[in-house]
Amino acid sequence: MDFTLRIWRQKDSVSRGELVEYKIHDVSEDSSFLEMLDILSENLVEDGKVPMAFDYDCREGICGMCSLTINGIPHGPENGTTACQLHMRHFNDGQTITIEPWRAKPFPVVKDLIVDRSPLDKIIQSGGFITSRAGSATDANTHLINKGTADYAMDAAACIGCGACVAACPNASAMLFTSAKVAHMNSLPQGKPEKHRRALAMVSTMDDEGFGGCTNIGECEAACPKNISLDVIAHLNRDYSIAQVKSFFKPYV
């Protein structure tokens, strides 16, 4: 398969970037999208040019590092699929593919297709943890949790923190990411002691980091490679509202 690639090239965070066109030939339809970029980078090195910079780690759809906007869609056209798990057979031979980094103010471009997603880390640092002892495995069924709650928490925990929800949202909101983390921990007994503080702290940090507000457009759910439901946003709104009321009467909820 042959492709024309229009790729965002930017030397560093202060330089002006631009889309640069490349041709690539004889790509196997079974190659993953990142493997195709590896081939292109090898070709660039052989030609004495600077290879592309892009994020990746596990290449198994787990780590969330492969933050690429492909033809305007975070992670590409396949639903519930990360860029590293996207294969070239989902594109047409001879197609032009435009590849850009996440486009969101809180995610400044570092180089080429790499952006700084540390604001998501700061949201986690503000409340994405529990204070109960977790140094060793507890006996089975020490904490009895019904299946519905366990399934709900597991679905929310599937979030890999890639930031596709932010990149897809016209407001650059991190509400789906933050809500998934809050819903995961607030729904389980181990996370109940910090429930209200967690909601207040993580939403406050999200706002401080410059993310936009949620207006329920739904692009975040559509772009999420793990199909996180908008239901978790309703969960966070409820917990946050209750926490605000409680903090009014008792400042340290």
Model pLDDT, residue 112: 97
Pairing label, strands 96-100, 3-9: parallel
Number of domains in the chain: 2
Q: Which of 111, 129, 163 is the last residue of a domain?
A: 111
Asked whether residue 88 falls in the same domain as residue 125, the answer is no
Cα torsion 114, 120, 124, 126: sign: positive
- pLDDT-derived band of residue 140, with 50, 70 and 90 as boundaries? low
Regarding whether 121 and 107 lie in a shared domain, the answer is no
Phi, psi at 80, each rounded to 5°? 65, 35
Q: Could you list the beta-strand ranges (E) of 95-206.
A: 96-100, 109-111, 114-115
Residue 148 shares a structural domain with residue 185 = yes
Q: What's the Cα-to-Cα distance from 169 to each of 9, 14, 46, 160, 203, rounded to whole Å?
A: 23, 25, 38, 17, 17
87 and 177 fall within a common domain: no
Instruction: Give pLDDT, residue 251.
Output: 61
Note down the domain range covering 191: 117-249
| CA–CA dist 76, 83 (Å, integer) | 6
pLDDT digits 0-9 by tens, 196-234: 999 999 999 999 999 999 999 999 999 999 999 999 999
Task: Please give the pLDDT value at position 248.
Answer: 78
Picking from 82, 111, 140, the residue at the C-terminal end of a domain is 111
Adjacent-strand bridge partners of 8:
19
Domain match, 102 and 121 both = no
pLDDT computed for residue 197 by the predictor: 94
Provide the 3-class DSSP secondary structure of residue 51: coil
Q: Please give the sequence-ordered ranges of beta strands (E in DSSP) within 25-93, or none if there are none.
A: 69-70, 73-74
CA distances to 48, 83, 99, 225 from 63, in Å = 31, 11, 20, 11
E strands of the chain, at which residues? 3-9, 18-24, 69-70, 73-74, 96-100, 109-111, 114-115
pLDDT tens-digit readout, 79-112: 999 999 999 999 999 999 999 999 999 999 999 9
Please say if the pLDDT value at position 252 is more than 70: no
CATH number of domain containing 91: 3.10.20.30
> Between residues 75 and 145, which one has the greater pLDDT?
75
Among all chains, which residue has been given the structure tokens 């890639």?
A: 162
State yes or no: pLDDT of 253 exceeds 60. no
Q: Are residues 79 and 39 in the same domain?
A: yes
Q: What CATH number corresponds to the domain at position 134?
A: 1.10.1060.10
- Same-domain pairing of 76 and 125: no
Quickly count: other Cβ atoms within 10 Å of residue 83's Cβ: 29
Q: Of 69-78, 129-138, 187-196, 240-249, which range is least confident?
A: 129-138
pLDDT confidence of 13, banded at 50, 70, 90?
very high
pLDDT at 130: 85
Of 60, 94, 111, the residue that ends a domain is 111
- Which residue would you say has higher pLDDT here, 144 or 76? 76
Of residues 145 and 206, more confidence is placed in 206
Spatial separation of the C-alpha atoms in residues 232 and 181, rounded to whole Å: 9
Q: Is 52 helix (H, G, I), strand (E, B) or coil?
A: coil
pLDDT of the residue at 47: 95
pLDDT tens by residue, 111-130? 999 999 999 999 999 999 88
Q: Mark whether 103 and 43 lie in a shared domain.
A: yes
Q: Which residues lie closer than 8 Å to 95 by C-beta, 6 or more apart?
A: 3, 4
